[in-house]
Amino acid sequence: MLLLYRLGIGFYALMAQLLAPFNTKARQFTQGRSNWKNKLPNFENHPVALFHCASLGEFEQARPVLEAFAQEFPDWKIVLSFFSPSGYEIRKNYPVAHFVTYLPLDTPENAQYFVQTLKPKIALFVKYEFWYHTLKALHHSGCEVISFSAIFRKEQAFFKPYGGFMRQVLGFFNHLFVQDVESVKLLKSISITNTTLAGDSRLDRVAAVAKEGKEFPEIEQFKGDSTLIMIGSAWPADTDLLLPVLLTQFPDWKVIIAPHELHESYLGKLEEQSLGKAIRYSDWKVSPKEGKQVLIINNIGMLAYLYRYADVAWIGGGFGSGIHNTLEAAAFGIPMGFGPRYKKFKEAVDFIDTGAAFSETDTTQLKAKLQYFVANQENRKAAGKIAAEYIETHKGATKTIIDYCKQKIR
pLDDT of residue 396: 95
Mention every residue, 6+ apart, whose C-beta is less than 8 A from residue 172: 135, 136, 138, 139, 145
Write the DSSP symbol of residue 197.
E
Tens digits of residue pLDDT in 105-134 = 999 999 999 999 999 999 999 998 999 999
Taking a C-beta distance cutoff of 8 angstroms, is the pair 384, 356 a contact? yes
- β-pair partners for 122: 49, 144
pLDDT band at 1 (very low <50, low <70, confident <90, very high): confident
Domains 2-199 and 214-394 in one fold: yes
Helices (H), 202-276: 202-212, 217-223, 236-249, 264-273
Q: Is the pLDDT of residue 140 over 90?
A: yes
Region for residue 317 given its phi and psi (left: phi exceeds 0; alpha: psi -120 to 50; beta: otherwise): left
For the chain, the average pLDDT equals 94
Domain parsing of the chain, residue ranges: 2-199, 214-394
Mean pLDDT of 269-297: 92
pLDDT of residue 146: 98
Specify the 3-state DSSP secondary structure of 80.
Answer: strand
C-alpha dihedral over 231, 232, 233, 237, to 10 degrees? -20
Specify the 3-state DSSP secondary structure of 191.
Answer: coil
pLDDT of residue 259: 96
Tens digits of residue pLDDT in 210-228 = 998 899 999 999 999 999 9
Mean pLDDT of 82-91: 93
Q: What angle do CA 260, 208, 303 make, to 5 degrees?
A: 20
% of the chain at pLDDT higher than 90: 88
CATH topology of domain 2-199: Rossmann fold (3.40.50)
Q: What is the CATH number of domain 214-394?
A: 3.40.50.2000
What number of other Cβ atoms are within 10 A of residue 162's Cβ?
Answer: 8
